[in-house]
Amino acid sequence: MLNATRSSASWEALGHAVAAFEIAQAYSLERSQFGSTIGSYQLVQNLLANMLAEVTAMYTMCVRSAQLADAGQLTGPMSSLLKLHTAKKSRWVCQSSRDILAGNGLLLERHVARHLTDMEIVHTYEGTEFIQSLLVGRELTGVSAFSASKKHKERLQG
Protein backbone atom coordinates (compact mmCIF):
# COMPACT_ATOMS: atom_id res chain seq x y z
CA MET A 1 0.00 0.00 0.00
CA LEU A 2 2.81 2.43 0.84
CA ASN A 3 4.28 1.94 -2.63
CA ALA A 4 1.03 3.17 -4.16
CA THR A 5 0.49 6.04 -1.73
CA ARG A 6 4.08 7.25 -1.99
CA SER A 7 3.80 7.14 -5.77
CA SER A 8 0.53 9.07 -5.60
CA ALA A 9 2.13 11.66 -3.34
CA SER A 10 4.93 12.00 -5.91
CA TRP A 11 2.45 12.71 -8.70
CA GLU A 12 0.82 15.28 -6.44
CA ALA A 13 4.21 16.90 -5.78
CA LEU A 14 4.81 17.00 -9.53
CA GLY A 15 1.47 18.75 -10.05
CA HIS A 16 2.31 21.44 -7.52
CA ALA A 17 5.75 21.93 -9.07
CA VAL A 18 4.34 22.26 -12.59
CA ALA A 19 1.74 24.77 -11.42
CA ALA A 20 4.31 26.83 -9.51
CA PHE A 21 6.68 26.77 -12.47
CA GLU A 22 3.99 27.89 -14.90
CA ILE A 23 2.93 30.72 -12.60
CA ALA A 24 6.54 31.92 -12.25
CA GLN A 25 7.21 31.69 -15.98
CA ALA A 26 4.09 33.69 -16.86
CA TYR A 27 4.81 36.26 -14.15
CA SER A 28 8.39 36.71 -15.36
CA LEU A 29 7.02 37.84 -18.74
CA GLU A 30 4.38 40.10 -17.18
CA ARG A 31 6.27 41.90 -14.39
CA SER A 32 8.47 44.82 -15.41
CA GLN A 33 11.34 46.15 -13.37
CA PHE A 34 13.69 48.94 -14.47
CA GLY A 35 12.10 49.05 -17.92
CA SER A 36 12.33 45.33 -18.72
CA THR A 37 10.36 42.24 -17.83
CA ILE A 38 12.01 40.34 -15.01
CA GLY A 39 12.20 37.35 -17.36
CA SER A 40 14.97 39.17 -19.21
CA TYR A 41 17.26 39.05 -16.19
CA GLN A 42 19.90 36.35 -15.82
CA LEU A 43 18.99 35.31 -12.28
CA VAL A 44 15.33 34.81 -13.16
CA GLN A 45 16.22 32.85 -16.31
CA ASN A 46 18.61 30.70 -14.26
CA LEU A 47 15.88 29.96 -11.72
CA LEU A 48 13.33 29.16 -14.41
CA ALA A 49 15.76 26.86 -16.24
CA ASN A 50 16.61 25.00 -13.03
CA MET A 51 12.96 24.78 -12.06
CA LEU A 52 12.16 23.23 -15.45
CA ALA A 53 15.03 20.78 -15.06
CA GLU A 54 13.64 19.61 -11.71
CA VAL A 55 10.08 19.38 -13.04
CA THR A 56 11.32 17.31 -15.98
CA ALA A 57 13.30 14.99 -13.69
CA MET A 58 10.27 14.54 -11.42
CA TYR A 59 8.03 13.81 -14.40
CA THR A 60 10.47 11.23 -15.76
CA MET A 61 10.73 9.50 -12.39
CA CYS A 62 6.94 9.46 -11.91
CA VAL A 63 6.34 7.99 -15.36
CA ARG A 64 9.00 5.32 -14.84
CA SER A 65 7.62 4.40 -11.43
CA ALA A 66 4.14 4.02 -12.95
CA GLN A 67 5.59 1.69 -15.60
CA LEU A 68 7.33 -0.35 -12.91
CA ALA A 69 4.15 -0.45 -10.79
CA ASP A 70 2.12 -1.66 -13.79
CA ALA A 71 4.69 -4.42 -14.31
CA GLY A 72 4.59 -5.35 -10.60
CA GLN A 73 8.23 -4.38 -10.20
CA LEU A 74 8.03 -1.22 -8.07
CA THR A 75 9.67 -1.92 -4.72
CA GLY A 76 9.28 -0.09 -1.41
CA PRO A 77 12.75 1.48 -1.61
CA MET A 78 12.02 2.64 -5.16
CA SER A 79 8.82 4.37 -4.08
CA SER A 80 10.67 5.87 -1.10
CA LEU A 81 13.37 7.25 -3.40
CA LEU A 82 10.66 8.67 -5.66
CA LYS A 83 8.84 10.36 -2.77
CA LEU A 84 12.11 11.66 -1.29
CA HIS A 85 13.12 13.28 -4.56
CA THR A 86 9.78 14.65 -5.72
CA ALA A 87 8.72 16.12 -2.38
CA LYS A 88 12.10 17.76 -1.83
CA LYS A 89 12.40 19.16 -5.34
CA SER A 90 8.78 20.27 -5.57
CA ARG A 91 9.19 22.26 -2.36
CA TRP A 92 12.24 23.91 -3.93
CA VAL A 93 10.36 24.71 -7.16
CA CYS A 94 7.48 26.23 -5.17
CA GLN A 95 9.92 28.26 -3.06
CA SER A 96 11.72 29.46 -6.19
CA SER A 97 8.42 30.47 -7.74
CA ARG A 98 7.61 32.43 -4.60
CA ASP A 99 11.04 34.09 -4.85
CA ILE A 100 10.42 35.13 -8.46
CA LEU A 101 7.03 36.59 -7.57
CA ALA A 102 8.46 38.23 -4.43
CA GLY A 103 5.63 39.70 -2.33
CA ASN A 104 3.10 38.83 -5.02
CA GLY A 105 3.90 35.18 -4.37
CA LEU A 106 2.04 35.49 -1.08
CA LEU A 107 -1.19 36.80 -2.60
CA LEU A 108 -4.06 34.33 -2.77
CA GLU A 109 -4.88 35.15 -6.39
CA ARG A 110 -1.38 34.11 -7.50
CA HIS A 111 -1.72 30.62 -5.89
CA VAL A 112 2.00 30.17 -5.25
CA ALA A 113 1.61 30.34 -1.47
CA ARG A 114 -1.15 27.71 -1.69
CA HIS A 115 1.09 25.36 -3.68
CA LEU A 116 3.94 25.97 -1.25
CA THR A 117 1.70 25.25 1.74
CA ASP A 118 0.27 22.15 0.06
CA MET A 119 3.81 20.93 -0.54
CA GLU A 120 4.56 21.21 3.15
CA ILE A 121 1.70 18.77 3.68
CA VAL A 122 2.84 16.42 0.90
CA HIS A 123 6.36 16.54 2.32
CA THR A 124 5.00 15.31 5.64
CA TYR A 125 2.56 12.52 4.86
CA GLU A 126 3.75 9.03 3.94
CA GLY A 127 7.00 10.03 5.65
CA THR A 128 9.21 13.09 5.28
CA GLU A 129 12.31 13.05 3.07
CA PHE A 130 14.27 12.07 6.19
CA ILE A 131 12.20 8.93 6.76
CA GLN A 132 12.38 8.10 3.05
CA SER A 133 16.17 8.51 3.15
CA LEU A 134 16.38 5.98 6.00
CA LEU A 135 14.32 3.50 4.00
CA VAL A 136 16.56 3.96 0.96
CA GLY A 137 19.65 3.83 3.17
CA ARG A 138 18.52 0.52 4.66
CA GLU A 139 18.18 -0.87 1.13
CA LEU A 140 21.64 0.42 0.17
CA THR A 141 23.49 -0.80 3.27
CA GLY A 142 21.40 -3.67 4.59
CA VAL A 143 21.41 -1.95 7.99
CA SER A 144 18.32 -0.39 9.51
CA ALA A 145 18.89 3.00 11.11
CA PHE A 146 15.43 2.67 12.66
CA SER A 147 16.39 -0.02 15.12
CA ALA A 148 18.31 0.74 18.26
CA SER A 149 21.93 -0.33 18.48
CA LYS A 150 22.80 -3.62 20.19
CA LYS A 151 24.40 -1.79 23.16
CA HIS A 152 21.33 0.44 23.52
CA LYS A 153 19.04 -2.60 23.49
CA GLU A 154 21.17 -4.31 26.14
CA ARG A 155 20.96 -1.18 28.35
CA LEU A 156 17.20 -1.09 27.98
CA GLN A 157 16.89 -4.76 28.93
CA GLY A 158 18.95 -4.17 32.08
By annotation, the residues acting in catalysis are 126
CA distance 27 to 18: 14
**What integer pLDDT is reported at residue 129 of this predicted model?**
86
Residue 142's domain spans which residues? 2-157
pLDDT in tens, 53-69: 999 999 999 999 999 99
**What integer pLDDT is reported at residue 151 of this predicted model?**
61
Q: For the chain, give me the number of helices (H) and strands (E)?
A: 6, 2
Residue 37, beta-bridge partner list:
32
Residues of the chain falling short of pLDDT 50: none
pTM to 2 decimal places: 0.86
Domain count, the chain: 1
**What integer pLDDT is reported at residue 158 of this predicted model?**
60
Read off the amino acid at residue 80.
Answer: S
CATH code, domain carrying 77: 1.20.140.10
